[in-house]
Amino acid sequence: MPHFLDIDQVDPSDLRAMIDNARAMKAARGTRPRGASDDEQPLAGRMVALIFEKPSTRTRVSFDMGVRQMGGQTMVLSGGEMQLGHGESVADTARVLSRYVDLVMSRTFREDTLQELAAHAAVPVINGLTDRSHPCQIMADILTYEEHRGPIAGRRVVWSGDGNNVCASFLHAAGQFGFHLTFTGPAELDPDPAALAFARSRGVEARVERDPARAVEGADLVVTDTWMSIHHPEHARARRHALLQPYQVNAALMARAAPDALFMHCLPAHRGEEATSEVLDGPHSVIVDEAENRLHAQKAILRWCLGL
């Protein structure tokens, strides 16, 4: 079953084909208005379920729009409204949904929930974020980087801050697309060791550098994310902020990157915390392009999953 669960689990040539397909579909839309349907309707007659245990703006709207543009339909199911949130097993939910819909996109807390859904579903499952990873976001980010600066292979990416779910998917992508990634952040919030090991196993540099100024020196791309992800408990806020403050991406840190470096953030941003408004709205920033490219990248992922 062609699930899209994590970037390290998909063949690199398929990942490359998805990025190229996303670019072609984006180009084919030309200057037509947002929301209009595509000329091609590969998802005509298909139904996609979008499950959300957590809040979302970009993932929800971009998947919904992408399916509709390709002629399909969606139903949005929030965790609390489903029997899943009231004791029904994930396996039973997966088996039953597979009798109704053609594909399931799911945003869950626990990684296990996603894995169990995929194990028991008879239709493709797409990971729309778990506590552990966020692969759709990074496919959009690869598309965004390459639109602005050409091939990402061989480039130097720096992740500054929390070694979280989005960082793990960036490390998977480093291995699959062949770019180097330096993590700079406090030891307590280091990235998933398996994700670091995966990147290294593919022959790219995946380093940890505690000094943010040294890490960012000459970087082609600087990336950060919120200091408090949805799954982090409120009581951890003060400690996390104290640990992460030295890794804020501000104008002084960005000035150490290459002159044509890009700045990325998956959003939602907490202005003045992980990044300043000067950087978020500054000349290096491509944050809104990343958000738009969720739409195009996910359309390519949907087509790959459905073999269309």
* Active-site annotation, residues: 107, 134, 137, 225, 266, 294
Mark the segment that binds ligand NVA (CB under 6 A) among 32-40, 199-207, 225-233, 244-252. 225-233
Q: From residue 180, how far is each of 158, 163, 174 by CA, in Å?
A: 8, 16, 6
Sites of contact with ligand CP (CB under 6 A): 56-59, 129, 137, 266-268
Q: Does 270 bind ligand NVA (CB under 6 A)?
A: no
The residue (of 97 and 291) whose beta carbon lies closer to ligand NVA is 291
- Which of 6, 8, 102, 225 forms a contact with ligand NVA (CB under 6 A)? 225
Site string for ligand NVA, 172-211 (x = CB under 6 A): ----------------------------------------
The residue (of 123 and 297) whose beta carbon lies closer to ligand NVA is 297
Mark the segment that binds ligand NVA (CB under 6 A) among 37-45, 158-166, 238-246, 282-290. 158-166
CB 165 to ligand NVA: min, Å? 5
Is the N-terminal amide bond of 212 cis, ω within 30° of 0?
A: no
Give the binding-site size for ligand NVA (rule: CB under 6 A). Answer: 9
What is 225-290 written as a DSSP string? --SS-TTS-GGGHHHHHHHHGGG-B-HHHHTTS-TT-EEEE-S---BTTTB-HHHHTSTTB-HHHH
For ligand NVA, the binding residues in 27-86 under the rule CB under 6 A are none
Q: Does 165 bind ligand NVA (CB under 6 A)?
A: yes
| Burial annotation 221-258 (CB, 10 A radius, 16+ → b, else e) | bbbbbbbbbebeeeeeeeebeebbebbbbeeebbebbb
- Which of 18, 118, 121, 166 forms a contact with ligand NVA (CB under 6 A)? 166
Q: 79: buried, middle or exposed (CB in 10 Å: 19+, 13-18, 0-12)?
A: middle
57 binds, among ligand NVA, ligand CP, none (CB under 5 to 8 A by kind): ligand CP
Calpha distance 123→43 (Å, rounded) = 14
Among 106, 104, 95, which Cα is nearest to 130's? 106
Residue 4 DSSP class? B
CB 267 to ligand CP: min, Å? 5
Q: Does 229 bind ligand NVA (CB under 6 A)?
A: yes
Mark the segment that binds ligand NVA (CB under 6 A) among 36-44, 161-169, 171-179, 213-221. 161-169
Calpha distance 74→240 (Å, rounded) = 37
Half-sphere exposure of 62 toward its Cβ, with a 13 Å CA cutoff? Answer: 23
Q: From residue 281, how far is each of 97, 228, 248, 260 by CA, in Å?
A: 42, 21, 15, 15
Q: Does 164 bind ligand NVA (CB under 6 A)?
A: yes
Q: Which residues contact 239 (CB under 8 A, 6 or more apart)?
A: none
Q: Does 230 bind ligand NVA (CB under 6 A)?
A: yes
- Which of 226, 285, 293, 298 forms a contact with ligand NVA (CB under 6 A)? 226
Calpha distance 141→143 (Å, rounded) = 5
164 binds, among ligand CP, ligand NVA, none (CB under 5 to 8 A by kind): ligand NVA
Residues lying near ligand NVA in the complex (CB under 6 A): 129, 164-166, 225-226, 229-230, 266
